[in-house]
């Protein structure tokens, strides 16, 4: 049995007399004698019936396997987990959402390394699937392609999952009847695919394409479409080609490539979660990336996409005009992208974009560079005496660029949501939700329920919200998350009291508690660490291993 360069890892598993037991077991799962001479490509599928984001991915995995097999490899499909952010949102179950990113990364790394796969196709749907897959691919550094499972079709009346969350706030405000809420509930999610705005799933899919780790246009295809089937088939072929050429993820995931990803996320108005996930992916790749890089790049990159949650269009409408590739070509031509970065096509980014036509005349989904929605980034990194380690705001300018109000403090998301719904939260309040960070949660829940309720009640410009937790890509309004250090480790957010003045200033990039420093120091001196919430299991391990949000909330930073 030949041991050529395409079988660097699998040959150790299946070659020679000593590996007869391995071959015996593989015969039982469908290997023929000739298959042992082929490079093995693992197809990491995140299929499950847990969520519509992933319910179709078993079929996509089969398409990818077929592409790998027809190219000359031997494919092996295996599964990893997913959890649904949308379903668990606002409940204790949401504590497992960010944790699942680490479980996914660990499981793909574990199976691929143990089984000796020579390459990987990873297919993700729900939010944490994508960075989870990418972290694993970076750690393994074997020829790989990521495939996005695709976006969902719009619901009736141009609705989506955020429409449901905001309708809940509308009911509380008396603007939406329970019967109207039921209609939205029944029709907003029409079938398979990830949430339909420029929320975290579509944001991360776009970022990964800009990073060069998925095939051109993979981020801008509907889940149920021939384009997505073909994308998966071609991904299987592409990994075989990458194996032959010796191109690996770390050849692609360079610092310049991460800068391209940040640029595209900003232009699209993407989720704050992209900051957290790109930092984590860079850590896995040993690329130096920090919060301040988002600020540096954001000073020169405008917000161009009129996409939900702050805009009016859904991903399906961006797909209809050509996806993100014309945007990337526009950015490249303006010297805002690095064109010399390698991609999974085996070509550079500039080569991939060379023949991409512009958007059709008359469309207003993507603005021209000289007519931006905002001249610089909507992702604003804020520092100050509340966030000495940094925080991340999502400010498009529609809600203004600064906000000063009085703190209304809550120790959990549930308590804050109840106060929004029962009219405790009023105009000029700054809602402070703490003990929801990576350690304090544990798990750093997303605050879509309270932000959705604030918007649904019509308070989007009148109430701000800060938290050591994070936000769904569907959150919008005057919101600041990822406040570090978090409350559970003694960050200043832990000592804010009801009525304290707070200023959010997106121009000067500050988050300030408007009381004397002497008072802050006195309160911090009296602070005592809260009791540990979890002593056993996944959350307990996570809380003890996880780094700060400003470092990507990774669990292997030693």
Mind listing the pLDDT tens digit for each residue in 207-224? 999 999 999 999 999 999
Give the integer Cα–Cα distance in Å for 436 and 416: 12
Of 19, 12, 247, whose CA–CA distance to 113 is shortest?
A: 12
Give the integer Cα–Cα distance in Å for 185 and 452: 15
Characterize 508-529 residue by residue with b for buried, 16 or more Cβ atoms within 10 angstroms of its Cβ, and e for exposed: ebbbbbebeeeebeebeeeeee
Give the integer Cα–Cα distance in Å for 260 and 252: 12
Q: What is the pLDDT of residue 218?
A: 98
How far are the Cα atoms of 231, 249, 284, 297 from residue 241, in angstroms, in the given order?
15, 13, 24, 33
Q: What is the pLDDT of residue 26?
A: 98
The β-bridge relationship of strands 478-484 and 464-467 is parallel
Tokens of 409: 């403090």
Rounded to the nearest 5°, which phi and psi values hold at 518?
A: -60, -40
Give the integer Cα–Cα distance in Å for 465 and 450: 9
Check if 412 is active-site. no
Q: What is the pLDDT of residue 240?
A: 98
Tell me the whole-structure pTM to 2 decimals: 0.97
Tokens of 385: 């005496």
Which residues are CB-contacts of 46 (< 8 A; sequence separation ≥ 6)? Answer: 54, 57, 79, 80, 81, 82, 104, 123, 124, 125, 126, 129, 133, 149
CA-based radius of gyration for the chain:
23
Of 479, 502, 264, 217, whose CA–CA distance to 385 is shortest?
A: 502
**Cβ atoms of residues 450 and 465 within 8 Å:** yes
How far are the Cα atoms of 197, 275, 297, 393, 429 from residue 487, in angstroms, in the given order?
31, 20, 29, 18, 20
Angle at which helix 129-140 crosses helix 200-211, to 10 degrees, equals: 30
Q: Say how many Å lie between the first and final Cα of the chain, rounded.
A: 41
Catalytic residue from among 45, 472, 475, 550:
472
Q: What is the pLDDT of residue 225?
A: 98
Q: What is the strand order of the sheet 40-45 is part of? A: 74-79, 40-45, 119-124, 144-148
Angle at which helix 200-211 crosses helix 255-268, to 10 degrees, equals: 140
What DSSP designation does 338 have? -
**Cβ atoms of residues 390 and 550 within 8 Å:** yes
Give the integer Cα–Cα distance in Å for 201 and 193: 10
**Cβ atoms of residues 353 and 281 within 8 Å:** no
Give Cα 55 to chain centroid, integer Å. Answer: 19
Q: Which residue has the tokens 């940040």?
A: 262
Which residues are CB-contacts of 427 (< 8 A; sequence separation ≥ 6)? Answer: 459, 462, 463
Cβ atoms < 10 Å from Cβ of 178? 8
- Cis bond leading into 485, ω under 30°? yes
DSSP alpha helices (H): ranges in 369-502? 413-421, 448-456
How far are the Cα atoms of 50, 132, 277, 538 from residue 103, in angstroms, in the given order?
16, 8, 14, 9
pLDDT, one tens digit per residue, over 177-202 is 999 999 999 999 999 999 999 999 99
Of 483, 43, 519, 427, whose CA–CA distance to 276 is shortest?
A: 483
Q: What is the pLDDT of residue 1?
A: 36
Spans of the chain below 70 pLDDT = 1-3
Ramachandran sector of residue 432 (left: φ over 0; alpha: ψ -120 to 50; beta: rest)? beta
């Amino acid at each position: 049995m030949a041991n050529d360069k395409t079988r660097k890892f699998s040959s150790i598993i299946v070659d020679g007399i000593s590996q007869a037991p391995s071959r015996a077991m593989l015969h039982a799962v469908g290997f023929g004698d000739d298959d042992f001479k082929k490079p093995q490509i693992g197809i990491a599928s995140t299929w499950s019936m847990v969520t519509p984001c992933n319910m179709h991915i078993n079929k996509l995995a089969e398409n990818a396997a077929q592409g790998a097999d027809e190219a000359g490899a031997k494919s092996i499909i295996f599964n990893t987990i997913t959890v649904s952010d949308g379903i668990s949102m606002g409940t204790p179950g949401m504590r497992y959402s960010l944790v699942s990113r680490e479980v996914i990364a660990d499981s793909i790394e574990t199976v691929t390394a143990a089984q000796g796969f020579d390459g990987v196709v990873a297919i993700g749907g729900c939010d944490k699937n994508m960075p989870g897959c990418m972290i694993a691919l970076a750690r393994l550094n074997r020829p790989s392609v990521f495939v996005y499972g695709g976006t969902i079709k719009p619901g009736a009346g141009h609705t989506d999952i955020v429409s449901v969350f905001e309708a809940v706030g509308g009911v509380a405000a008396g603007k939406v009847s329970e019967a109207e809420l039921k209609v939205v509930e029944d029709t907003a999610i029409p079938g398979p695919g990830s949430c339909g705005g420029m929320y975290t799933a579509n944001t991360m899919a776009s970022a990964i394409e800009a990073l060069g780790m998925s095939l051109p246009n993979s981020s801008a295809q509907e889940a149920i479409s021939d384009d997505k089937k073909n994308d998966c088939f071609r991904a299987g072929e592409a990994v075989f080609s990458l194996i032959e050429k010796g191109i690996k993820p770390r050849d692609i995931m360079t610092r310049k490539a991460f800068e391209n990803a940040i640029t595209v996320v900003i232009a699209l108005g993407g989720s704050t979660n992209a900051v957290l996930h790109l930092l984590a992916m860079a850590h896995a790749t040993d690329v130096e990336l920090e919060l301040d890089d988002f600020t540096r790049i954001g000073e020169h990159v405008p917000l161009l996409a009129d996409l939900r949650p702050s805009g009016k269009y859904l991903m399906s409408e961006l797909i209809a005009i050509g996806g993100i590739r014309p945007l990337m070509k526009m950015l490249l031509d303006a010297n805002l992208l690095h064109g010399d970065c390698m991609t999974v096509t085996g070509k550079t980014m500039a080569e991939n974009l060379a023949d991409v036509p512009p958007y059709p005349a008359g469309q207003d989904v993507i603005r021209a560079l000289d007519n931006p929605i905002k001249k610089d980034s909507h992702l604003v990194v804020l520092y100050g005496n509340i966030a000495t380690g940094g925080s991340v705001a999502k400010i498009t300018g529609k809600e203004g660029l600064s906000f000063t109000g009085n703190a209304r403090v809550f120790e959990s998301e549930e308590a804050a949501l109840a106060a929004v719904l029962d009219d405790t939260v009023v105009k000029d309040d700054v809602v402070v939700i703490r003990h929801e960070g990576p350690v304090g949660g544990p798990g750093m829940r997303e605050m879509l329920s309270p932000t959705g309720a604030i918007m649904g009640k019509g308070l989007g410009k009148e109430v701000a919200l800060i938290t050591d937790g994070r936000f769904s890509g569907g959150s919008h309004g005057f919101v600041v998350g990822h406040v570090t250090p978090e409350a559970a480790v003694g960050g200043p957010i832990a000592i804010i009291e009801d009525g304290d003045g707070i200023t959010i200033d997106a121009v000067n990039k500050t988050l300030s508690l408007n009381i004397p420093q002497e008072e802050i120091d006195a309160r911090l001196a009296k602070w005592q660490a809260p009791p540990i919430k979890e002593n056993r299991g996944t959350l307990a391990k996570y809380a003890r291993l996880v780094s700060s949000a400003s470092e990507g909330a990774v669990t292997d930073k030693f």
